[in-house]
Structure 1
Amino acid sequence: MEAVLSCEACAAPSEEEVRLWAQSFERLMRSPAGRSVFRDFLRTEYSEENLLFWIACEDLKQEISRSRVEEKARTIYEDYVSILSPKEVSLDARVREVINRKMEEPSPQTFEDAQLQIYTLMHRDSYPRFLSSAFYRSLARGVSRSSSES
């Protein structure tokens, strides 16, 4: 999991990439540099756990080993779903109930409903604030300025 997170900041975004992030949340989330910048923004809002949960779920979906699926699912549950976790994400009761049932036999799709709920939350709430933030505007100006200086 740490390898996935440390790779998030692999390459500096291009001016075009930064501009495209404003066109759609999907583009932002598909971009490793976009996720890294968005994560930094979420950290300022004390909601970084939403993106970390989403990334962990994406990682789980790629897993094929049964024992690794179970291990990763339990870690995700303990880190983001358990009410005892300091990084608990905000999920409704129905989704929590579904997860609790699925945890009896975890699969790569165990957190599908929860992941969609958190993705939607980030899309509707955090993403518009990100785009209007000084954080994003300064990044967009900085990328634009540095590419015109080259």
Structure 2
Amino acid sequence: MGSELEMGKRPPENAGNTTQVQNTPPNTHILGSVSTQTVDLFNPPSNACCFCWCCCCSCSCLTVRSAKDKRILMTVSEKQEDVDTNKMPQLTLEEVHAWGESFERLIKSAQGRVHFRQFLKTEFSEENLMFWLNCEDLKKETNKTMVEQTVKQIYEDYVSVLSPKEVSLDSRVREVINRNMLEPSSCTFDEAQQQIYTLMQRDSYPRYMNSSMYADLIQSFEQLNES
């Protein structure tokens, strides 16, 4: 990692192309759209106590967690893992082209996030998008207990230096987070979320736009329109 805001994780050559076009029976779908062809785009961590946000391994309560807490925390990191594309709105060539207009258009699109996530996997930086999505969900949470549990889990999953999914944050933002952790709220990770958003926008998004994965998706739609 060359700098604190640089991904530093590069994919092997030709690892980004996961899009395949295959013949299928009539009325099959492309991410929920109608077509005679299918674009195939998709081929509990240790928890610290409330007084140990740094997740140090010496904390004696790491092994103490009620069944209720476990059920609550199970959904925090995992709820973004499975996406049913059949329930998404119909994807069109116009929308795919719109992703190229701005990163905001891409990340606000359900299908866009799914496809962008597949690209990030090839760069071993999927955790950036997952952190951002979990922060978005945190902002919608109103139950105080759920907020506190979710904040703790997001910290352990994406901020703790002990986590394999740690995102790249500078020291200033980490200090802000540590202060916010004293009184967890739905805004605890606001600055960190913005920093990761900017990182994806400036770093990953341009590479995605120039990737064979995105080019193949557009080509697949164009071929369908010509047939």
Q: Using the TM superposition, give the Cα deviation of residue 145 of structure 1 relative to its aligned residue in structure 2, in angstroms.
A: 1.7
Q: Partner amino acid for 1:61?
A: K
Contact in 2 for aligned 1:63/1:69 (Cα 8 Å) = yes
Please tell me whether residue 140 in structure 1 is matched to residue 218 in structure 2. Answer: yes
CA distance in 2, matches of 1:88, 1:3: 18
Selected match of 1:25 from 99, 103, 107: 103
Match of 1:6 in 2: 82
Match of 2:208 in 1: 130
Please tell me whether residue 15 in structure 1 is matched to residue 93 in structure 2. Answer: yes
CA distance in 1, matches of 2:108, 2:82: 16
Q: Partner amino acid for 1:67?
A: T
CA distance in 1, matches of 2:115, 2:222: 16
CA distance in 2, matches of 1:96, 1:115: 11
Please tell me whether residue 41 in structure 1 is matched to residue 119 in structure 2. Answer: yes
Please tell me whether residue 117 in structure 1 is matched to residue 117 in structure 2. Answer: no
Q: Using the TM superposition, give the Cα deviation of residue 148 of structure 1 relative to its aligned residue in structure 2, in angstroms.
A: 3.5
Match of 1:84 in 2: 162
User: In the superposition, relative to structure 1, how do residues 110 and 3 fare at CA in structure 2: closer, same or farther (>3 Å)?
Assistant: same
CA distance in 2, matches of 1:13, 1:28: 12
Question: 1:42-75: per-residue Cα shift (whole Å, max 9, x none)?
Answer: 0000000000000000000000000000011111
User: In the superposition, relative to structure 1, how do residues 79 and 32 fare at CA in structure 2: closer, same or farther (>3 Å)?
Assistant: same
CA distance in 1, matches of 2:84, 2:161: 28
Q: State the SS of the aligned residue for 1:136.
A: helix
Match of 2:152 in 1: 74
CA distance in 1, matches of 2:225, 2:102: 22
Contact in 1 for aligned 2:80/2:130 (Cα 8 Å) = no
Q: State the SS of the aligned residue for 1:126.
A: helix
CA distance in 2, matches of 1:45, 1:8: 23
Q: Give the greater-gyration-radius structure (CA).
A: 2
CA distance in 1, matches of 2:100, 2:84: 19
Please tell me whether residue 100 in structure 1 is matched to residue 178 in structure 2. Answer: yes
Question: 1:70-109: per-residue Cα shift (whole Å, max 9, x none)?
Answer: 0111110000000000000000000001001101111111
Higher helix share: 1
CA RMSD of aligned residues (A): 1.4
CA distance in 1, matches of 2:195, 2:165: 16
Question: 1:104-140: per-residue Cα shift (whole Å, max 9, x none)?
Answer: 1111110000000000000000000000000110011
Q: Using the TM superposition, give the Cα deviation of residue 14 of structure 1 relative to its aligned residue in structure 2, in angstroms.
A: 1.2
Q: Which runs of 5+ in 2 are unaligned?
A: 1-75
Q: State the SS of the aligned residue for 2:82.
A: helix
